[in-house]
């Protein structure tokens, strides 16, 4: 680690203080955390109720529903290979489940309308052998809501996704996960079963400072929803992957898709700035966009939080059933680093080559009377946005034939075409039928509805 990658002493103390408060006030037997910046772990800290025992980045904790993000990565890999489409109904690839009308995207985003839990007894505290088949996981009434209409978190939904992976790969979920994700990313301490050293799971009495061991169950069919054990070291590496991708597993574009909202938010979630992507939770907190996932199983709490724009991520694990609010802790660890040591931007660099045909597009344009600016950026994209106030904006990528495709916002997927006059000069831009002209309502520039022949005038006229 170079001196530029180390955190300042004041930052390190603030991070330690935050997890110390979480462990003390949350009455957790132990809390362990890591912070990632610039593509690598730059801080590790822990607090324990046992004197002289401080878990390090190699100690396993159960990570609960963070497992779902790993399962989602496997499904996206299948999509990228062409084995399935996210719009496919589950029935096309995994027939006979009784939930086949839900699409794969619905299952990933928890919009399939499935129940939150499997039928009783509580699956997290009972052996998976009680639910050997998918029908045992789904029960006689799998759907509680219309498919695709609302976000309703579903553990059985991710059991179906795990079964889908097994069907298309012809191998157990755990085996596929290890060969396609864990080994390529170097996550050697992430596993379906605990491997020493690992923490024990505890329940803390709500009204007494006393402990009760929690049972350790193999979740069986429910494994793709919450089985995994991992460490802060491994999850720090996983956070790096989720922020930037890794072509051995998933491209940067595909992990960006995972971080994009894919589910309608519930009313309470809208107020809290919370939404869900494809296997990732998304939150706006303190003016900061955070993505990641939380996890819990009896005896354990887990949280992975990534501030993509700040290039900071945090992992927090605890071995108690309830106590510290790790989502808030993770967000605070990201904030502490981002505010104390703001990200230093990359140096500005010019284009390697200025294409005259592209440079001709740059400058000021008008949609009606609204002024917009179109810039050519060093990464070869176009950036379109209003010159004053808020409004629609997007970046656009060249299609190689003179047209451009919108990458985000209102114009995502929309086509921009430069329209030229018979003499070859640039007349206007057509962006998804929106006409942008060099002057407001420019005469002869293809403005829909035409331009009044009398031209611009004063009120007295």
Structure confidence by residue, pLDDT tens digits, 76-97: 999 999 999 999 999 999 999 9
Partners of 43 in the beta sheet?
Answer: 35
**Which run of H or of E encompasses 398?**
strand 394-398
What distance in Å separates the CA atoms of residue 250 and residue 259, rounded to the nearest whole number?
13
Q: How many percent of the chain have pLDDT more than 70?
A: 97
Q: Residue 217's pLDDT band (boundaries 50, 70, 90)?
A: very high
Residue 107 burial by Cβ neighbours in a 10 Å radius (0-12, 13-18, 19+):
buried
- Note the CATH number of domain 9-340: 3.40.710.10
Residue closest to 167 by CA, chosen among 96, 69, 70: 96
Partners of 374 in the beta sheet?
Answer: 363, 384
Q: Model pTM greater than 0.85?
A: yes
Residue 264 burial by Cβ neighbours in a 10 Å radius (0-12, 13-18, 19+):
middle
Check if the beta carbon of residue 47 is closer than 8 Å to that of residue 239.
no
Q: Tell me the CATH architecture of domain 356-437.
A: Beta Barrel (2.40)
Q: Locate tokens 């890794």: which residue?
A: 246
Check if the beta carbon of residue 282 is closer than 8 Å to that of residue 296.
no
Check if the beta carbon of residue 202 is closer than 8 Å to that of residue 214.
yes
Q: To 5 degrees, how large is the angle CA 86–CA 89–CA 95?
A: 125
Q: Is the pLDDT of residue 4 over 60?
A: no
Q: Residue 5's pLDDT band (boundaries 50, 70, 90)?
A: low
Q: What is the mean pLDDT of residues 55-77?
A: 97
Read off the pLDDT of residues 105-156 as tens digits, 9 standing for 90 and up: 999 999 999 999 999 999 999 999 999 999 999 998 999 999 999 999 999 9
Domain boundaries, the chain: 9-340, 356-437
Q: Is the pLDDT of residue 434 over 90?
A: yes
Confidence at residue 264, expressed as pLDDT on a 0 to 100 scale: 79
Quote the mean pLDDT of the chain.
Answer: 93
- 242-246, 263-267, 385-389: lowest mean pLDDT where? 263-267
How many CB atoms lie under 10 A from the CB of residue 448?
A: 8
What distance in Å separates the CA atoms of residue 42 and residue 59, rounded to the nearest whole number?
17
How many CB atoms lie under 10 A from the CB of residue 434?
A: 16
Q: What is the mean pLDDT of residues 415-438?
A: 95
Confidence at residue 2, expressed as pLDDT on a 0 to 100 scale: 35
Read off the pLDDT of residues 8-19 as tens digits, 9 standing for 90 and up: 999 999 999 999
Partners of 46 in the beta sheet?
Answer: 32
Q: Locate tokens 């928890």: which residue?
A: 110
Confidence at residue 269, expressed as pLDDT on a 0 to 100 scale: 67
Read off the pLDDT of residues 318-364 as tens digits, 9 standing for 90 and up: 999 999 999 999 999 999 999 999 988 889 889 888 899 999 999 99
| Of the ranges 120-129, 188-197, 447-456, the best mean pLDDT one | 188-197
Confidence at residue 51, expressed as pLDDT on a 0 to 100 scale: 81
Read off the pLDDT of residues 249-274 as tens digits, 9 standing for 90 and up: 999 999 999 999 998 777 766 666 78
- Using left for φ > 0, alpha for ψ between -120 and 50, and beta otherwise, residue 106 falls in alpha
Helix/strand number for the chain, H first, E second = 14, 19
Read off the pLDDT of residues 277-321 as tens digits, 9 standing for 90 and up: 999 999 988 889 999 999 999 999 999 999 999 999 999 999 999
Q: Where are the beta strands (DSSP E) in 239-388?
A: 274-276, 281-285, 288-297, 300-307, 312-318, 363-367, 370-376, 382-386
């Amino acid at each position: 680690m170079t001196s530029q990658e180390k955190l300042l002493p004041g930052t390190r103390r603030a991070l330690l203080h935050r997890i110390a408060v979480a462990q003390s006030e949350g009455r957790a037997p132990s809390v362990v955390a890591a912070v990632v910046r610039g593509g690598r772990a730059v801080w590790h800290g822990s607090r324990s109720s046992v004197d002289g025992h401080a878990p390090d980045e190699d100690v396993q904790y159960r990570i609960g529903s963070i497992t779902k993000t790993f399962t989602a990565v496997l499904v996206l890999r299948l999509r990228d290979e062409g084995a399935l489409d996210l719009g496919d109904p589950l029935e096309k690839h995994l027939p006979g489940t009784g939930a086949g009308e839900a699409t794969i995207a619905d299952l990933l985003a928890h919009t399939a309308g499935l129940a939150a839990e499997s039928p009783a007894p509580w699956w997290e505290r009972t052996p998976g052998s009680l639910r050997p088949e998918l029908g045992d996981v789904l029960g006689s009434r799998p759907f509680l809501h219309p498919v695709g209409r609302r976000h309703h978190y579903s553990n059985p939904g991710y059991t179906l996704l795990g079964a889908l992976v097994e069907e298309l790969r012809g191998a157990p979920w755990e085996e596929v996960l290890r060969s396609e994700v864990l080994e390529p990313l170097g996550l050697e301490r992430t596993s379906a079963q605990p491997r020493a050293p690992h923490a024990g799971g505890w329940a803390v009495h709500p009204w007494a400072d006393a402990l009760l061991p929690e049972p350790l169950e193999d979740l069986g069919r429910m494994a793709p929803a919450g089985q995994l054990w991992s460490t802060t070291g491994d999850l720090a590496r996983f956070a790096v992957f989720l922020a930037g991708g890794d072509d051995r597993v998933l491209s940067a574009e595909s992990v960006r898709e995972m971080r994009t909202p894919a589910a309608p938010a519930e009313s309470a979630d809208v107020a809290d700035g919370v939404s869900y992507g494809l296997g990732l939770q998304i939150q706006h907190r303190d003016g900061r966009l955070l993505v990641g996932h939380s996890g819990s199983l009896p005896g354990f709490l887990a949280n992975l939080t990534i501030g993509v724009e700040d290039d900071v991520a945090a992992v927090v694990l605890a071995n108690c059933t309830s106590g510290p609010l790790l989502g808030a802790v993770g967000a605070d660890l990201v904030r502490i680093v981002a505010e104390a040591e703001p990200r230093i931007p990359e140096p500005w660099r010019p284009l390697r080559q200025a294409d005259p045909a592209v440079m001709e597009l740059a400058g000021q344009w008008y949609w009606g009377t609204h002024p917009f600016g179109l810039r050519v950026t060093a990464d070869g994209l176009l950036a379109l946005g209003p010159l004053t106030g808020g409004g629609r904006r997007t970046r656009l990528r060249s299609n190689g034939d003179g047209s451009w495709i919108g990458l985000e916002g209102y114009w995502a997927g929309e086509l921009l075409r430069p329209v030229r006059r018979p003499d070859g000069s640039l007349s206007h831009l057509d962006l998804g039928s929106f006409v942008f002209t060099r002057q407001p309502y420019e005469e002869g520039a293809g403005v829909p509805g035409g331009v009044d022949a009398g031209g611009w005038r004063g009120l007295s006229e």
